[in-house]
Amino acid sequence: MSPLAIQAARLASRQALRAPVWQQAFRRSASSQLAKQYSTGTAPADWGRIIRTRTQALLLYFPGMAIALGWPYLAYVLVDGHVKM
């Protein structure tokens, strides 16, 4: 293979792997928007939101755990003495 053909093949393989120009431009413009700078000051505590989210979690957690862990005892109470082996 001639050196000119090798160079042409190498150039073609590089361009096939390169992203199109519009994708590169989009990445450049979006990269500055992705790295936001957050404020260094502390925000005041939002106790209303904290209490509301914790209450919602507890209202879902405790009945769910009561069902998941309590059904064997409930079954024992309901069929106590009625099932013979």
Closest CA to 69 of 61, 79, 81: 61
* Tokens coding 67: 């069902």
Query: If you search the block for the tokens 């990445």, which residue do you land on?
Result: 27
Tell me the pLDDT tens digit for each residue of 23-33: 777 777 766 66
72 token code pair: 């064997």
Q: Which of 42, 23, 39 is nearest to 31 (CA)?
A: 23
- Residue 35 CA to residue 22 CA, distance in Å, equals 21
DSSP annotation string for 11-53: HHHHHHHSPPHHHHHHHHHHHHHHSPPPPSSPPPP-HHHHHHH
For residue range 16-75, list pLDDT tens digits in order. Answer: 666 677 777 777 776 666 666 677 788 788 999 999 999 999 999 999 999 999 998 998
The token pair that represents 3 in the structure block = 């050196």
